[in-house]
Amino acid sequence: WYLLVYALGGCSIGHVYRLITDYEGYTLDFTGPLMLMVQRITYVGFSYNDGIAKKEEELNEDQKRNRIVVLPSILEYLSYNFSFLTLLAGPTCTYHEYNEMITGQNIKKWKIKDEPSPLVPALKKFLTAIFFLIIFINSRDLKLDEKIFDVSLPFYLRFVYITLFCFV
């Protein structure tokens, strides 16, 4: 629990610093990812404690599955803490789940015989992109910005112009 107090103390210092420097302001700050880091640090700490300090019969099924028996290397630990997939917004996962994903052990559990071909979905997306590209190229001479703001056009037609051409 020392690790939890340390991690929460660092997070609290970050929140207090944020309150002092930008009270009631709306800026992107570091406290969101810091709270996720607190979760990851405590996950590793408690999982390691379950792996070395407790007997197996004292653990429930979740603790048995997620316990860490061998301390991860510094590179593994930092890659878990600074994983791009969960750094800014979560969701956080246990070190065991992360390690299974990195090593590919989670896919081996499914026992997939034949992987489906990505050709058909990729071809559909490609043809859709080509279709809208052709529409976009052929509509350059239509002066769409005038048509979008033309009040005499029906709303649905202006909506189609906006959705097709303003967000490309």
Chain segment 138-159, per-residue pLDDT in tens: 766 666 666 667 778 788 777 7
Q: What is the overall mean pLDDT for the chain?
A: 81
State the Cα–Cα distance between residues 11 and 8, nearest whole angstrom: 5
Q: Name the helix (H) or strand (E) containing 155.
A: helix 155-165
Q: State both tokens at 30.
A: 């570091």
Q: Global pTM?
A: 0.57
Q: What is the pLDDT of residues 91-126, one digit of tens each?
A: 888 888 889 888 888 777 777 677 778 899 999 999
Of the pLDDT bands very low, low, confident and very high (cuts 50, 70, 90), residue 34 is confident
The upper half-sphere exposure of residue 3, i.e. CA atoms within 13 Å in the direction of its Cβ, equals 13
